């Protein structure tokens, strides 16, 4: 009984630890934006699907060349909170400002964050490409590939709604689905940039600990009965 109880508690604790870790995915990509948006620059979205904040200081992005040495630094954001989605756009801080105005006008969502990357060697192709995200040590953290992007108006972003990593993304954003909407100042663009993902509340961990305590109490009670018998 003691061994079984210890194993069960160990499994529950390992689950809690795993849930507390940060996990990054590339949740949205707009490779058509450089040619079919008034923003004039491609962009992508990173989402922290874990339950702890994640430092991305020193992280870089590359396309299908799959090379850390050719990757460009991600600027403007150094931390992604649990459940938060952030945007990175090709260009400068001024490009990021244009993006915000285009998509949200004066109604910028609370907590919205956008960074940027710039330099030669990266250009997301509307006819198919890849995105690779590396940490400061050059270790691959997230990857997606995609084929031909939307070529007719309204232009729809690639939506990694399944939340998968190291995968091919083909699903396009659909108005009203998974938070997708038309850009405030460009009706020809559909996506869900900066949508905050739902994450388990702290109460979930409290319930988990309460469950462990209950299991322990039941185990002690059973052991007491065995000793009395």
Give the pLDDT confidence of 148-191 residue by residue, as tens digits: 999 999 999 999 999 999 999 999 999 999 999 999 999 999 99
What pLDDT does residue 39 have? 97
What pLDDT does residue 216 have? 54
84 vs 24: CA distance, rounded Å: 10
Task: Report residue 228's pLDDT band, with 50, 70 and 90 as the boundaries.
Answer: low
Give the pLDDT confidence of 50-72 residue by residue, as tens digits: 999 999 999 999 999 999 999 99
Instruction: Kindly list the distances between the CA atom of residue 51 and the CA atoms of 20, 83, 114, 152, 164, in Å, as whole numbers in the listed order.
Output: 5, 7, 21, 38, 17
Task: Report residue 121's pLDDT band, with 50, 70 and 90 as the boundaries.
Answer: confident
Task: Report residue 117's pLDDT band, with 50, 70 and 90 as the boundaries.
Answer: very high
Structural domains of the chain, ranges and CATH numbers in brackets: 22-200 (2.60.40.1260)
Write down the pTM of the prediction.
Answer: 0.79
What integer is the mean pLDDT of 68-97?
97
Q: Are 129 and 29 in contact (CB under 8 A)?
A: no
């Amino acid at each position: 009984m003691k061994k079984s109880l210890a194993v069960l508690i160990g499994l529950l604790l390992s689950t809690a630890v795993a849930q507390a870790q940060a996990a990054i995915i590339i949740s949205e990509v707009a490779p058509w934006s450089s040619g079919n948006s008034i923003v004039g620059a491609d962009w992508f979205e990173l989402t922290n699907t874990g339950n702890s904040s994640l430092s991305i200081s020193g992280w870089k992005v590359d396309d299908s060349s799959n090379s850390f040495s050719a990757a460009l630094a991600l600027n403007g954001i150094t931390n992604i909170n649990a459940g938060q989605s952030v945007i990175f756009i090709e260009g400068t801080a001024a490009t990021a400002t244009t993006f915000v105005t285009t998509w949200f006008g004066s109604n910028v969502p609370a907590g919205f964050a956008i960074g940027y990357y710039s330099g030669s060697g990266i250009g997301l192709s509307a006819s198919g490409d890849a995105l690779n995200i590396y940490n400061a040590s050059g270790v691959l953290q997230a990857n997606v590939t995609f084929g031909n992007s939307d070529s007719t108006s309204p232009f729809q972003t690639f939506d990694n709604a399944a939340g998968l990593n190291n995968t091919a993304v083909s699903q396009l954003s659909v108005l009203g689905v998974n938070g997708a909407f038309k850009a405030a100042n460009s009706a020809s663009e559909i996506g869900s940039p900066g949508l905050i993902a739902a994450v388990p509340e702290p109460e979930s961990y409290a319930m988990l600990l309460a469950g462990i305590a209950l299991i322990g109490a039941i185990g002690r009670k059973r052991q007491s009965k065995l000793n009395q018998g």
